[in-house]
Amino acid sequence: MAEVRQRAEKICRTNVPILLCGEGGTGKEALARWIHVNSEYASGEFVKVSCAAIPGTLLESELFGYEQGAFTGANVAKPGRVEMAHRGTLFLDEIAELDPNLQSKLLQFLQDGTFSRIGDHSERRIDARVICATHKDLDQETQAGRFRQDLFYRINGFRLKVPTLRERREDIPALAEFFRVHFEKQFGTKRDMFPPEMLQYLQNLNWPGNLRELSNGVARYVLIGPEAAIYQEHAPKKPKAVRSAEGNGTPVTLKQLAKDAIREMERNIILETLRTNQWNRRKTALALKISYRALIYKIHDAGLMTRKAAQRGERATNLSSESVRNYATD
C-alpha cells in the first residue's frame, strides 16, 4: 500500500484519467476519495456512479440527465451525475459493467468534456476529474469484445492495482484496531483491544472479502462482544465450542478460541508440508524453518496421523512419543 500511495501522490494533482483495479472490498473507492481530497478538484463534489447497480436503461439519464418532456414522466429537467461532478471528481465504479450502448457516449465525454442531456440537442461542457474502478481484467474484457478498446485506452491513463488483504497481512493488526475504534464511536460502546493471539489468527485468514469482510467482522465484535463470530466459514477450522470443556456453562474466552484456531492452522500447515516432502521430517523442518526437535514436539502435540495411516486414509489417535519418533521411517 505504501507503493500504491507513492504512485497516487505523483498523479493526484494532474487530470490524467485513473483506472483502479483490484478485487471487491480492497478499498478502491476509499483510494479514489483520497485522490480527490488531495487533488486540484478537492473543492468540488466527489460523485459516485455504480455502473453495476443501475440498469442500463436508467444509467444514461443518471449519468447525463434529461430535459423536460424527454420521455414519459420527465416532468422537469434534471441534471445528471456528470454535471454534478463539474470541477470535482466523477467516480465510475465497476466500469466493466457499463452498457455497450453507453460506452460510446461516455467515450465522447471523456475525449472533450462535452455531452448532451437526453432530449436536448445542445452540447454542454464540464471540467471534472474522472476515476474508474473495476474488479475485472479489462484487458481480457477488451479482447473478448465486451468492452470498447478505444474507451479502455481512454480511461487507462494511469493504472493502480489495489492489493488484496492477503497480500498485505502485516497491515491487518493496524486495520483491525482502526475499525475497532471507528465502530466504538459509531455504536457508542467500548471493547478491549484485540489480544495478540487474535490478531495473529486474523493475519492467517484468506479474507476473500478483503477490507469489507474484516470491517464487518470487527463491527460484530464491537457490537456483540467477544462471543461474536469474527471467524470465517472458509477458515481451516471454525471453533465450534462456545462452552467450557468441563460443561459448567462457562463461556470460552476470545483468547482461548484464538489459541485453538491458531493451533489447528499450524497442524494443517505441518501436515501439508509433510506430504509435500514425502513425510521426511528433516526436510519438513527445513521447509518450515524450525528445528527438528520443535517439529517432533509439534507433531506429537497436534496428534498427526502416521504415514501408513495416511496412506490408508485412516485417522490415528494421538501418537505416543515412540510412534512419533518412528512414524516417518516406518
Sorted by where each begins, the domain ranges of the chain are 2-163, 169-266, 277-330
**In the block, residue with C-alpha cell 510412534:** 323
Per-residue model confidence as pLDDT tens for the chain (330 residues): 899 999 999 999 888 999 999 999 999 999 999 999 999 999 999 999 999 888 877 898 899 988 887 787 788 888 999 999 999 999 999 999 998 888 988 998 999 889 988 888 888 999 999 999 999 999 999 999 999 999 999 999 999 999 999 999 999 999 999 999 999 999 998 988 888 888 888 888 889 999 999 999 899 888 887 666 565 444 444 444 444 444 444 555 666 666 777 777 777 788 778 777 767 888 888 888 888 888 888 887 776 644 444 444 433 333 333 333 443 333
Closest by CA position to 86, among listed 62, 67, 114, 60 = 114
- According to the CATH classification, is domain 169-266 in 3.20.20.70? no
Cα–Cα distance for residue pair 206/219, rounded to 1 Å: 19
- Fold of the 2-163 domain: Rossmann fold (3.40.50)
Task: Find residue 49's DSSP bridge partners.
Answer: 92
Closest by CA position to 263, among listed 204, 188, 327, 182 = 204
